[in-house]
A and B are shown apart, each in its own frame.
Chain A
């Protein structure tokens, strides 16, 4: 059972109150991009065992989208943060570094390395 705290309404929402929105921080490649970029944008998703960043929507609540950083193996939640950002905030990265030294996910990683 996953419990995420919605950063918009402060509610500790249980999984069934939320809807999953897939991988976070995707960069969209649309018109003008080449085929490889578009292919990767459409189909290439991370499937990590460990640290992962996801989008969630507080569907049966305030209705807002937000981001969550969690571990897919232990279901541990490192933190949730606003949707109005292009990359995970430093505070979240620090929390992950404290618990999973050496972590990396796409272009983000443990900054102390």
Chain B
């Protein structure tokens, strides 16, 4: 078997925040009617999480479900189980107008933690990241400098960011630059 590695292969940078390649993460794109109870049950079975409200992410121990658009979720599952879970989702949703696709190897996954995490992201995305506007459990798809990305805030105040794998190295450099130790703006 091949040996799966991430685009940035465990890279890490520490400045005003710690930017880290968050490793291999199973990700499933699920499109369908989010109000359907069949879909809700399938999401629960695959991740353990409930279908999130608009603009939110529901994180549980073994996975998460994130609200991508009115008819799309991003499900996080353990990397090794992604293929089986995608098949199980397709099976559970066979009568529904829905589609599940395993995108684990098409994405890069980063964590941004530390005191300057908010600021690091705020520098590169046109998003209000003040504590009043963006709190734990909030999820946002947006633009980070020149590329599309999605990010959310964990309970501990750190951020997780997902982008296309093809721009994974760009994203790591971008985040590292925004987290440069002498670049603190101290707005948040």
| A, B: real partners | yes
Spell out A's residues near B (CB within 8 Å). Answer: 8-14, 16-17, 59-64
Contact A62–B143 (Cβ < 8 Å): no
Contact B55–A10 (Cβ < 8 Å): yes
Q: For the complex, what is the distance from the CA of A47 to the CA of B54, rounded to whole Å?
A: 36
Is B141 engaged at the interface, CB distance under 8 Å to the other chain?
A: yes
Chain B count of residues within 8 A CB distance of the other chain: 13
Which of B68, B141, B148 is packed against the most chain A CB atoms within 10 Å? B141
Q: Is the interface of B mostly helix, strand, loop or mixed?
A: strand
Is B140 engaged at the interface, CB distance under 8 Å to the other chain?
A: yes
Contact A60–B142 (Cβ < 8 Å): yes
* Complex interface: chain B residues within 8 A of A16 (CB): 126, 143
- A-B pairs with lowest CB-CB distance, top 10: A62-B69, A60-B143, A14-B126, A60-B148, A61-B141, A8-B70, A17-B143, A60-B142, A17-B142, A17-B126
* Complex interface: chain B residues within 8 A of A14 (CB): 126
How many residue pairs at the A-B interface have CB separations less than 8 Å? Answer: 36
* Complex interface: chain A residues within 8 A of B148 (CB): 59-60
Which residues of B (48-107) have their CB < 8 Å from a CB of A? 54-55, 68-70, 72
Spell out B's residues near A (CB within 8 Å). Answer: 54-55, 68-70, 72, 126, 128, 140-143, 148
Contact A10–B142 (Cβ < 8 Å): no
Contact B142–A62 (Cβ < 8 Å): no
* Complex interface: chain B residues within 8 A of A17 (CB): 126, 142-143
* Complex interface: chain B residues within 8 A of A10 (CB): 54-55
Q: For the complex, what is the distance from the CA of A13 to the CA of B141, rounded to whole Å?
A: 10
Interface CB pairs A-B, < 8 A, 27: A8-B69, A8-B70, A9-B54, A9-B55, A9-B69, A9-B70, A9-B141, A10-B54, A10-B55, A11-B55, A11-B140, A11-B142, A13-B126, A14-B126, A16-B126, A17-B126, A17-B143, A60-B141, A60-B148, A61-B69, A61-B141, A61-B142, A62-B68, A62-B69, A62-B70, A62-B141, A64-B69
Q: For the complex, what is the distance from the CA of A11 to the CA of B56, rounded to whole Å?
A: 12
* Complex interface: chain A residues within 8 A of B140 (CB): 11
Which of A8, A59, A63 is packed against the most chain B CB atoms within 10 Å? A63
